[in-house]
Amino acid sequence: MDNVLFEYLLRSGDNCLILSQRLSEWCGHGPVLEEDIALTNVALDLLGQARFWLSYAGEVEDAGRDEDKLAFLRDTRDFRNVLLVEQPSGDYAHTTARQFYFDAWHYLALGELSHSSDGRIAAIAEKARKEAAYHLERSVDWIIRLGDGTEESHHRMQCAADALWMYTGELFEMDEIDRAAEERGIGPNLTALRAPWRVQVERTFAEATLQVPAGQWMQRGGKRGVHTEKLGYVLAEMQFLQRAYPGSQW
């Protein structure tokens, strides 16, 4: 089994899956009907992407695990998503900050992946990049509106941006899997995405009258399966039926 490729696909798939799961918590509870619909669109796009990545991961692994077995029957330590996406949705500012930090990175990463030496990755990334472009446009728009809205929204937006900042470093971290993938032309040098990501953050926050957080310390671990305590609850909810009725078709 090509372990580098498998791990790489799990990371992409789990990022999309867990963020989609978080976003879907808003369905029916959004601040205004149009937002309820728009957020659900993003959740659906990400879920669709997760299914592509995880199906491919299952094929690469070749051990009989399909997208559902990978999504519903792995425990916390085997999930490979970054810590950012598992953070609670909180208020709309936290959801927006989480989404913006991720979208800005995701769009760049997918742009690189669309040139992957692996044709299947390139094809998935090419399609996903178009969706991510729209997600980013939307989250930029909300960062600006909330940042430069009322005193309350500004305060909430700044708090959320600050609180989630420490989970952004992991997006650009290169470990042995990433280095091996880069060597084979499968994926990009993630460190190189940091500068353009930072430009996007600075430009957006300037327009939103927000301060770019100054914190230096970055949390890490998600990519190796060392998560925050929150992921366990996400999985407990998501996996309930498959765990309670093992081996059933749904």
Partner 1 sequence: MATAGIQTNPDEFQERIDAGIKIEPKDAMPDAYRKTLIRQISQHAHSEIVGQLPEGNWITRAPSLKRKAILLAKVQDEAGHGLYLYSAAETLGVTREQMIEDLLAGKAKYSSIFNYPTLTWADIGAIGWLVDGSAIINQIPICRCSYGPYARAMVRICKEETFHQRQGFEIMLTLSRGTAEQKAMAQDALNRWWWPSLMMHGPSDKDSKHSAQSMKWKIKLFSNDELRQKFVDQTVPQAEFLGLTIPDKELKWNPERGHYDFGQIDWDEFQNIVQGNGPCNQERLQARISAHRDGAWVREAAAAYAQKHPRGARRSA
Interface contacts to partner 1, rule CB under 8 A: 17, 21, 24-25, 27-37, 40-41, 43-44, 47-48, 50-51, 54, 67-68, 71-72, 91-92, 133, 136-137, 140-141, 144-146, 148-150, 152-153, 156, 200, 203-204, 207, 237-238, 240-242, 245, 248-250
| Least Å from the CB of residue 241 to partner 1 | 4
Residue 221 to residues 8, 50, 92, 147, 174, Cα–Cα distance (Å): 15, 20, 26, 30, 12
Of 80, 106, 223, 93, nearest to 163 (Cα)?
93
The first and second tokens of residue 175, run together, are: 């470990």
Q: In this structure, how many other beta carbons lie within 10 angstroms of the beta carbon of residue 2?
A: 14
| Least Å from the CB of residue 131 to partner 1 | 13
Residue 80 to residues 12, 13, 41, 54, 220, Cα–Cα distance (Å): 8, 8, 24, 12, 11
Residue 167 to residues 6, 17, 101, 232, 239, Cα–Cα distance (Å): 24, 17, 9, 18, 25
